[in-house]
Structure formats: C-alpha cells, structure tokens
A and B are shown apart, each in its own frame.
Chain A
Amino acid sequence: EAGVAQSPRYKIIEKRQSVAFWCNPISGHATLYWYQQILGQGPKLLIQFQNNGVVDDSQLPKDRFSAERLKGVDSTLKIQPAKLEDSAVYLCASSPQGEKAFFGQGTRLTVV
C-alpha cells in the first residue's frame, strides 16, 4: 500500500517569499492533517480536513497560511509571506476516519 506522499522534501526560501507544499494521502483516507513540527517540539496541528471540509483550523495563522483540499483527495498548504519562525518540518498525515494517523516524510522548510 502506498503511503502518504509529500513534496518537495526540502525548501529554502527568503523571508517574505511564498511557498507551497503538496500532499497526497493514502487512498481512501477521509481525514487529512497538516502539522508543523519545530525542532525539539512535538507536531502541532495546523489544519484538519474531513473529505474536503475543514474540521479544525484553530491553530492555522490565517493571515499568512492557507490550505485547501479540492475534491477531498490531494491537499496543498501555502505560506505567504514566510517569516523566519516558519522554519520547521511540515508533516502531512492521513487516517481513515480521524483516528490512527499515517505520516508522510515531511517537507523541511528553511526561511532565511
């Protein structure tokens, strides 16, 4: 079974630039999550989708972050404009119905 696919694996951008991450969840998984993991910390949920609807985006900095999940499958997470403190690993995960989550390898973002 194919796992959660994310791209790119690494990204380096300058502050105030924009960046987008892509995630393809495990086939058939209705729930999709985007997490931000800063070095030395646990993953922090940014947004959770159930099919193509948003379940929880309470910790998403909406002034600069946006995410969509068109057609309830793939998802993109965008940051515009990026700040230095956005440097982190962005993890996408999926689960069949919001329980056990399976993670992609993540995108390591460095903002300089």
Chain B
Amino acid sequence: RKEVEQDPGPFNVPEGATVAFNCTYSNSASQSFFWYRQDCRKEPKLLMSVYSSGNEDGRFTAQLNRASQYISLLIRDSKLSDSATYLCVVNSGGFKTIFGAGTRLFVKA
C-alpha cells in the first residue's frame, strides 16, 4: 500500500460546481498535512494547510479525519482557473514529507 494515495481522476466538472477530493495516508503517526496545487509544467505551490478542526480559505475547505486516516479538499463554485493537479502532502514526523500522485481537475465552461 502506498503511503499516500489519491484518486488520479481526472475530475471533469462544469463551472460553478462543487468538487471534493480525498487522500488517504497509511502512517497513523503522521503529524501535518497540506494540499498543494500544480499547474501544467509548473512547480507545486502550497494551497493550504489542513488542521484537525478543519479549515476554510475562500472557496476551499480542508478536512482531516485522523480515525479513518484521510484528508479532503472541497472546492465550491469552481472556476476555470481551478483547473490543475491537486497534490496531497503528508508529513510523517522526523521531517519526512510524502506527496501523493495528485488528482487532476478540469473545470469546463
């Protein structure tokens, strides 16, 4: 089993739709979690951290479920500019950081 797993997609959604991605991790001792966004042929950029109580940043909401060992990202009111690959990142302590393979999102007009 991979340490961090994501549904590769692609997710094809119309503008204005709500879309959610999940990411599972295998190490129960994992301590911190992030979502990164990567545009085609660009470097990954931090989208948001994921906190135990859940957190929101505009149209983006991140949730952590430690019992089931997954994190999620919800995007509301999707925009064309949200089209990208979303990478789940898990820090397993001792500074070990693991990236998922990414979920591709296409938002259509």
The CA-CA distance from A102 to B46 in the complex, in Å, is 7
Residue A31 is within 8 A (CB to CB) of chain B in the complex: yes
Question: Which residues of A are found within 8 Å of B89, using beta-carbon distances?
Answer: 101
Q: How far is the CB of A88 from chain B (nearest CB, A)?
A: 13
Looking at the complex, which one of A31, A44, A45, A106 makes contact with B43 (CB distance below 8 Å)?
A106
With A99-B32, A100-B49, A103-B45 known as contacts, the answer to whether A42 contacts B95 (CB < 8 A) is no
- A11-19, A48-56, A66-74: which lies at the B interface? A48-56
| 0 or 1 for each of A34-53: is its CB under 8 Å from B? (1 = yes) | 01000001111100101000
The CA-CA distance from A42 to B2 in the complex, in Å, is 12
For the complex of A and B, list the 5 residue pairs with the smallest distance between their C-beta atoms, beginning with the closest.
Answer: A98-B95, A103-B43, A42-B99, A42-B101, A43-B99
Are B49 and A42 in contact, with the CB atoms below 8 A? no
The CA-CA distance from A4 to B102 in the complex, in Å, is 22
B residues 56-99 near A (Cβ < 8 Å) are 87, 89, 91, 94-99
Q: Which residues of A contact B (CB under 8 A)?
A: 31, 33, 35, 41-45, 48, 50, 55-56, 91, 98-106
Residue B16 is within 8 A (CB to CB) of chain A in the complex: no
Q: How far is the CB of B20 from chain A (nearest CB, A)?
A: 19
Q: Which residue of B lies closest to A50 (CB)?
A: B95
Question: Which residues of A are found within 8 Å of B34, using beta-carbon distances?
Answer: 100
Question: Which residues of B are found within 8 Å of A42, using beta-carbon distances?
Answer: 6, 87, 99-102
The CA-CA distance from A44 to B100 in the complex, in Å, is 9
Residue B44 is within 8 A (CB to CB) of chain A in the complex: yes
B residues 34-62 near A (Cβ < 8 Å) are 34, 42-46, 49
The CA-CA distance from A98 to B89 in the complex, in Å, is 12
